[in-house]
């Protein structure tokens, strides 16, 4: 009887070990809930664990993710910092990314981020004009929007096509490629892990965006433990 029970006990021990491991990490798995980047991207500040959100002002999912992300940010640990990366894979997105970088360069991003989102997504003011197959910044509309919310619209117009903003757009696109980001919204933790609701682990989930941040919390804890 003992000879029969011994292998059963071993099997149960293995199953318990797997169950404990799954419980410990929330059941989150690489390839299902996040991807490990083939090459880690250096952080801007190694004293922090950087969480980078890629978004687009014209994206419905990003618009609805924003309040969820802001709630999460309020409870963010002190060793974590949240960065934003505007996505660019077509000309209109290039214009919208410039608005983000302009507001950031002017020190008014906290003031302008939501108004830009609302203008583009809610009010369908593209803040851009079409030129053939391309788009260019709608300078009067941009100036009016910045002025309306207490920022210097004339300065924003001067900056939007400047060398400094061109450089930040190029760097942002390089980061987007390095992070292997292909959709919005997506999140990268510590320059190592990419989180996307398009991965198999989010299929059929009603709380996909909240789940993304739960996975981010798990990966933050994982990175913190690895750093010791």
pLDDT in tens, the chain (228 residues): 444 444 444 443 433 333 334 334 568 999 999 999 999 999 999 999 999 999 999 999 999 999 999 999 999 999 999 999 999 999 999 999 999 999 999 999 999 999 999 999 999 999 999 999 899 999 999 999 999 999 999 999 999 999 999 999 999 999 999 999 999 999 999 999 999 999 999 998 888 999 999 999 999 999 999 998
**Any alpha helices (H) in 48-162, and if so which ranges?**
60-74, 91-105, 109-117, 139-148, 153-159
Structural Rg of the chain based on CA atoms: 22
| pLDDT at residue number 12 | 39
| pLDDT at residue number 23 | 37
Distance CA 187, CA 205 (A): 18
| pLDDT at residue number 48 | 98
What burial letters (b/e) apply to 52-84, b meaning 16+ CB within 10 Å? bbbbbbbbeebbebbeebeebeeeeeeebbbeb
| pLDDT at residue number 19 | 36
Task: Give Cα 21 distance to the centre of its chain.
Answer: 27
Please name the residues in contact with 74: beta carbons below 8 A apart, sequence gap of 6 or more.
none
Question: What Å distances lie between residue 84 and 61, 137, 148, 179, CA to CA?
Answer: 15, 21, 24, 13
Closest CA to 108 of 70, 73, 151: 151
- Residue 218's Cβ-side half-sphere holds a number of Cα atoms within 13 Å equal to 21
What is the CB neighbour count within 10 angstroms for residue 151?
20
| pLDDT at residue number 206 | 87
Q: Strand 80-86 to strand 186-189: parallel, antiparallel, or no bridges (unpaired)? A: unpaired
Read off the pTM: 0.87
């Amino acid at each position: 009887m003992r000879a029969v029970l011994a292998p059963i006990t071993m099997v149960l021990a293995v199953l318990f070990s797997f169950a404990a491991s799954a419980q410990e990490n929330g059941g989150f798995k690489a390839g299902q809930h996040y991807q490990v980047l083939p090459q880690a991207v250096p952080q801007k500040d190694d004293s922090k664990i950087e969480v980078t959100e890629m978004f687009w002002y014209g994206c419905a999912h990003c618009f609805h993710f924003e309040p969820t992300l802001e709630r999460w940010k309020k409870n963010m640990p002190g060793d974590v910092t949240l960065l934003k990366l505007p996505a660019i894979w077509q000309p209109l997105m290039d214009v919208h990314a410039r608005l983000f970088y302009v507001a950031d360069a002017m020190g008014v991003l906290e003031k302008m981020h939501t108004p830009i989102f609302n203008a583009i997504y809610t009010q369908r003011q593209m803040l851009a004009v079409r030129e053939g197959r391309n788009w260019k910044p709608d300078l009067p509309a941009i100036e009016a929007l910045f002025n309306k919310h207490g920022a210097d619209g004339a300065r924003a117009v001067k900056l939007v096509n400047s060398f400094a903003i061109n450089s930040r757009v190029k760097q942002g696109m390089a980061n987007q490629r390095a992070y292997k980001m292909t959709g919005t919204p997506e999140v990268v933790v510590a320059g190592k892990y990419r989180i996307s609701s398009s991965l198999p682990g989010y299929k059929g989930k009603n709380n996909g965006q909240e789940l993304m941040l739960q996975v981010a919390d798990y990966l933050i804890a994982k990175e913190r433990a690895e750093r010791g």
